[in-house]
């Protein structure tokens, strides 16, 4: 449940003034639910005409206040009616408390891990390789038996034959901060790794806190180094912003890294919670950057000669891009980015293009306020695809292996909020089909196609590394 953009702003000011909700009367809430809500949402809250309240997915904003508001005022133009003329504020509070409590209780008993899942083309075999990490974020394969895995807490692990090694890599930077969305994030190997051994990392770098600061400031940083005898060595800084651009917020770091066929390195930096900076070319925030492998700036970067612009910027107007991938046929870069409440985007990245945030968006703010009245403007790119409500879209990867031949060149997409893995069929710049492959296991953080052609998924809540292989190829 959620708000729609047309609700009066004054309404939100009123709701913000509502005292923090205390434990509601569970018996009264259950009674009200069965009388007024069960017909649409199911007697056991399992869903029906309306959505389920047991899958931990709140399409239009979670939290008691937000849900209270939705129940009271409804969602204009959708099937959710307003109950303000039927239920008192106290009764609404009781039913919201009951719903939220049932959702939390269901989360305590997660569904069993399926061993097999049926999709449109394949039966999938699911194998849990590891459940020992705190919050796995990214995986990079060295070969069929070796990989590197980042844990957001600041540790880099080796994985051998599907098993995470107990000893993590020593000597990583000590200024990695792990708060909220900050942490040790992406890991990518150099295209010529076999010859040069370079490994690329993105992380949230925290500055030393000044005496007058209540909280240290942080920003996305890109480095590379090598591993020898379990130690991180030869570190080089490829990108770090001037200190005046660091922020005390701990979200919207972006931080995905990808190489294209020419060997250029692309990386994303989120808007860091300052949306207007995504349009400011003197700031790295809200941009996708392009550099050489050694950190130098390509001579044909679009804003290299623009006065005051950050020379590494390749495209701008992004909110929080946490997915980057190179198309196996066109060799062009694609991205996914988190929208606010609505408006998650899939974008085809091209030089100098403005992707609009926050001047255009299909989403609204988390408090229901309008961010922009426009979804399109001249000179600003439209997303190839957008998800409204938001699915909290995260990592992406084009399938280019051999095990799933029927999915060749399809885009694999992870979702944090809907806790699913999706497959998109793309023709040109249009998504012509979307299928949910896997759902309900946890927050899908990252997806990678291994050198063996299997699909590897990193899951949070619970923290898992999954390996997906086909059971039967019904198409071939």
By annotation, the residues acting in catalysis are: 252
Query: H or E segment at 195?
Result: helix 193-196
How many Å apart are CA 201 and CA 194, to the nearest integer?
17
Query: H or E segment at 344?
Result: strand 344-348
- The interaxial angle of helices 64-73 and 9-16, nearest 10 deg, is 130
C-beta separation of 165 from 133 below 8 A: no
How many Å apart are CA 155 and CA 136, to the nearest integer?
9
C-beta separation of 312 from 297 below 8 A: yes
Is 319 strand, coil or helix? coil
C-beta separation of 97 from 104 below 8 A: no
How many Å apart are CA 55 and CA 59, to the nearest integer?
11
- The interaxial angle of helices 26-36 and 89-107, nearest 10 deg, is 100
Residue 315 tokens, joined: 């495209």
Residue 50 tokens, joined: 């309306």
Is 128 strand, coil or helix? strand
C-beta separation of 117 from 124 below 8 A: yes
Q: What is the dihedral of CA 76, 79, 80, 83, to 10 degrees?
A: 90
In 70-229, which ranges are E strands?
Answer: 116-118, 122-130, 136-141, 146-151, 155-160, 163-164, 184-189, 199-206, 218-228
List for the chain the helix, strand, coil content (%; round to 5).
15, 35, 50
C-beta separation of 70 from 79 below 8 A: no
The candidate with the shortest Cα–Cα distance to 147, out of 444, 453, 421, 451, is 451
C-beta separation of 255 from 202 below 8 A: yes
C-beta separation of 255 from 185 below 8 A: yes
C-beta separation of 449 from 463 below 8 A: no
């Amino acid at each position: 449940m959620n708000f729609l953009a047309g609700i009066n702003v004054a309404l939100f000011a009123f709701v913000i003034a509502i005292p923090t909700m205390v434990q509601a009367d569970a018996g009264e809430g259950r009674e009200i639910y069965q009388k007024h809500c069960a017909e649409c949402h199911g007697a056991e809250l399992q869903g029906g005409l309306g959505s389920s309240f047991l899958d931990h997915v709140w399409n239009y904003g979670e939290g008691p206040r937000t849900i209270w508001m939705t129940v009271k005022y409804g969602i204009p133009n959708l099937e959710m009616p307003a109950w303000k003329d039927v239920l008192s504020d106290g009764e609404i509070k009781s039913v919201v408390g009951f719903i939220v409590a049932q959702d939390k209780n269901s989360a305590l008993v997660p569904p069993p891990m399926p061993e097999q899942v049926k999709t449109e083309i394949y039966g999938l075999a699911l194998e849990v390789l590891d459940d020992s990490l705190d919050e796995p974020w990214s995986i990079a394969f060295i070969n069929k038996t070796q990989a590197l895995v980042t844990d957001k807490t600041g540790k880099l692990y080796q994985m051998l034959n599907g098993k995470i090694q107990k000893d993590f890599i020593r000597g990583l930077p000590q200024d990695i901060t792990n708060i909220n969305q900050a942490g040790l994030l992406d890991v990518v190997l150099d295209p010529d790794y076999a010859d040069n051994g370079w490994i690329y990392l993105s992380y949230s770098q925290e500055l030393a806190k000044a005496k007058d600061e209540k909280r240290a400031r942080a920003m996305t940083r890109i480095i590379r180094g090598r591993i020898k005898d379990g130690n991180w060595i030869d570190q080089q800084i490829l990108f770090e912003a001037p200190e005046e651009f660091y922020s005390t917020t701990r979200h919207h770091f972006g931080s995905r890294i990808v190489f294209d066929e020419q060997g250029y390195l692309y990386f994303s930096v989120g808007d860091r919670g300052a949306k207007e900076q995504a349009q400011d070319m003197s700031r790295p925030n809200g941009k996708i950057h392009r550099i050489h492998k050694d950190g130098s700036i390509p001579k044909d970067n679009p804003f290299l000669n623009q006065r005051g612009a950050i020379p590494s910027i390749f495209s701008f107007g992004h909110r929080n891009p946490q997915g980057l991938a190179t198309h196996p046929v066109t060799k062009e870069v694609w991205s996914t980015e988190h929208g606010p409440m609505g408006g998650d985007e899939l974008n085809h990245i091209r030089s100098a293009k403005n992707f609009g945030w926050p001047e255009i968006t299909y989403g609204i703010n988390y408090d229901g306020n309008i961010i922009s009245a426009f979804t399109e403007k001249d000179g600003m790119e439209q997303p190839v695809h957008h998800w409204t409500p938001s699915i909290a879209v995260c990592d992406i990867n084009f399938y280019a292996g051999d095990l799933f031949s029927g999915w060749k060149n399809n885009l694999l997409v992870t979702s944090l909020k809907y806790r699913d893995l999706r497959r998109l069929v793309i023709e040109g710049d249009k998504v012509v089909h979307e299928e949910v492959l896997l759902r309900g296991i946890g927050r899908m953080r990252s997806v990678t196609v291994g050198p063996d052609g299997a699909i590897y998924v990193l899951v949070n809540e619970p923290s898992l590394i999954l390996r997906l292989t086909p059971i039967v190829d019904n198409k071939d």
